[in-house]
Amino acid sequence: MTQVTGRPRGGRRPVGKVLPGDARRHHRALVLQQLFDDGPRSRADLSRETGLTRVTVSDLVAELLDTGMLVELGHRPGVRQGKPATLVGLADTAPVVVALDLSGDRILRSAVVDLHGGILTAESVELSEGEAAVAEVLALVARLREQLTRPVLGVGIGAPGIIDHAGTVLHAPNLGWSDLALAERVHRETGLPAYVANDANMATAAETSFGAGDDAGLLLVTIGHGVGGGVLVDGRVLAGPLLSSGEIGHVVVDPDGPTCACGNRGCLETILAVPTLRRAQTEAELVAAGQRLGSVLSPVVTTLGIADVVLYGPAELLDGHLLRATQDALAHQTLPFVARQVHVRVVPLADELVLKGAAALVRYREIGVV
């Protein structure tokens, strides 16, 4: 799973001593990663595969058994000489993640997600703006938590707009948020670890981890109440020094067009967001929206050399005239060599990429599993 938060600003690695607690956390993450990747293993397997000593592995496994994260599964099948090995694996009682997706058309989507990315329960409510939206987020988290019998690892939230590494929403015009310390608010109200990141970046990371995304290069466009984008190159989701990588929804495509929520006129979002697409009466309007989208994507695809382009949103609106128009525009506005290799496809909302990405972010930040 690619980190959606990116490297520390400036690309510098943290400086300082490695504390014993940091080393233990790293070793625990190695053990858990092996179990997530390869399934149940014996303690000897884990020692050999992680390079940790048997004593260290046994100690870590004992800790994880005590916390309910792991469970012993019995002996490995088959006849072997010596004492049979006991397998350990992720427990059915392991913690879960409460995940929220704020990218929809005035819809707040939520789910309880297990540590393998499986959605256990899902719920959607109406989403307002401003402080009312914050209250709706907090109420939904509280309600989901009350229904759970398993421990909660944390809360992951995918939100539109520009969001810093601390989970502060710096600018989200469609929600009326500015400098909102959302992660801190959720943590303070719930006592749970909370992480907030850009919804498109989360969806991009999830599509490469759980879907068919090309982890060498992927451009994903989220189309909901607004329009956003996530860019992944060489296995990393890009944020950029301004934390605004992928914000294609606010590229102006018609200076005389309607006023956008950001204050500009004629942004791509004003013709491509779901409310506008639902009002479209003719095939020509959908084709025009697809052509505009293709024109915005062409320089990005050409500059970064990306071949996998995903439109993530309501399939009934995107998969048809709009998709074909986007493909045609890209084909005519990029190098022939690039055009022959670029593939544009639709991923439906039913895939719940933002929710899965939000859960994966919590999993990484809390237990180090990617």
Model confidence over 313-345: pLDDT tens digits? 999 999 999 999 999 999 999 999 999 999 999
Q: What is the dihedral of CA 359, 239, 187, 369, to 10 degrees?
A: 40
Residue 20 binned pLDDT confidence (cut-offs 50, 70, 90): low
pLDDT tens for each residue of 114-161 = 998 899 999 999 999 999 999 999 999 999 999 999 999 999 999 999
Q: 3-class secondary structure for the chain?
A: CCCCCCCCHHHCCCCCCCCHHHHHHHHHHHHHHHHHHHCCEEHHHHHHHHCCCHHHHHHHHHHHHHCCCEEEEEECCCCCCCCCCEEEEECCCCCEEEEEECCCCCEEEEEEECCCCCEEEEEEEECCCHHHHHHHHHHHHHHHHHCCCCCEEEEEEEECCEECCCCCEEEEHHHCEEEECHHHHHHHHHCCCEEEEEHHHHHHHHHHHHCCCCCCEEEEEEECCCEEEEEEECCEECCCCCCCCCCHHHCECCCCCCECCCCCECECHHHHCHHHHHHCCCHHHHHHHHHHHHHHHHHHHHHHCCCEEEEEECHHHHCCHHHHHHHHHHHHHCCHHHHCCCEEEEEEHHHCHHHHHHHHHHHHHHHCCC
Residue 80 binned pLDDT confidence (cut-offs 50, 70, 90): low
Of 218, 222, 239, give the one whose Cα is nearest residue 305: 218
pLDDT at residue 77, as a whole number: 73
pLDDT tens for each residue of 189-242 = 999 999 999 999 999 999 998 889 998 999 999 999 999 999 999 989 999 999
Is the pLDDT reported for residue 247 higher than 80? Answer: yes
* Cα→Cα distances 9→13, 208, 238, Å: 9, 24, 12
Q: What is the percent of the chain where pLDDT is above 70? A: 93
Interior angle at CA 209, CA 317 and CA 321, nearest 5: 15
Residue 10 binned pLDDT confidence (cut-offs 50, 70, 90): very low
Give the global pTM: 0.88
For all residues of the chain together, what is the average pLDDT?
91
pLDDT at residue 79, as a whole number: 53
Residue 200 near residue 40, CB atoms below 8 Å: no
Q: Exposure string (b/e) for 237-259, b if CB count within 10 Å is 16 or more?
A: bbbeeebebbbbbbbebeeebee
